Amino acid sequence: MEQQSIQKNLQEKFQNELVSFDETSDMLTFTVDKQFIVPVIQFLKEDLEFKFLTDLCGIHYPDQALPLGVIYHLHNFKTNTRIRVKTFTSIEQPEIDSMTTLFSSANWMERETFDFFGIVFIGHPNLIRILNVEYMDYFPMRKEYPLEDQTRKDKDDSFFGR
């Protein structure tokens, strides 16, 4: 299935819900408003036969208006086509609808995304931490902390070309 055909089908079905398309790589990538993510993914699965959820992961772009996001990779086995779907949310209300009703494989991927990015998946059957300790009070994959400890006195920057 060609990228133009997929894009045309999506635009006919979801005219105002799609934010943007990116065709710069060999995989069609598009962004959708978070309130429409389930209907769009359901359309891709049922009508365009993207029946395999390859991956689901979180992202954090701290300089964007909506800094937290989720990326979904779907695969159509019949045509050997892959597609990437993105959606974004705010840090103040990091909620996105769960895909577990469409793909049971989303269960652990959503738990991992919650664990590392703090994105709450509404409707998830068991949204608890999966890799980190349950009493951890931050989300380690967010880019909220400096890479180096600025208070260290034992470090000589001249060795690092600074």
pLDDT digits (tens, 9 = 90+) for 3-23: 889 989 999 999 888 888 987
Structure tokens at 20: 């943007």
Q: What is the pLDDT of residue 162?
A: 62
Q: What is the pLDDT of residue 22?
A: 87
Taking the C-alpha atoms of residue 10 and residue 4, their distance in angstroms, rounded to an integer, is 10
How far is residue 3 from each of residues 28, 66, 139, 144, 145, measured CA to CA in Å? 6, 27, 35, 36, 39
- Full pLDDT tens readout for the chain, 162 residues: 588 899 899 999 998 888 889 877 788 999 999 999 999 999 999 999 999 999 999 999 999 999 999 999 999 999 999 999 999 999 999 999 999 999 999 999 999 999 999 999 999 999 999 999 999 899 999 988 777 777 777 776 677 666
Give the alpha-carbon dihedral of 33, 15, 25, 116, to 10 degrees: 10
Q: Check: CB of residue 20 under 8 Å from CB of residue 32.
A: no
Q: What is the pLDDT of residue 19?
A: 87
pTM, two decimals, is 0.87
Q: Which CATH superfamily is domain 3-143 in?
A: NADH:ubiquinone oxidoreductase Nqo5 subunit (3.30.460.80)
How many Cβ atoms are within 10 Å of 68's Cβ, its own excluded?
Answer: 27
Residue with tokens 């994959």: 141
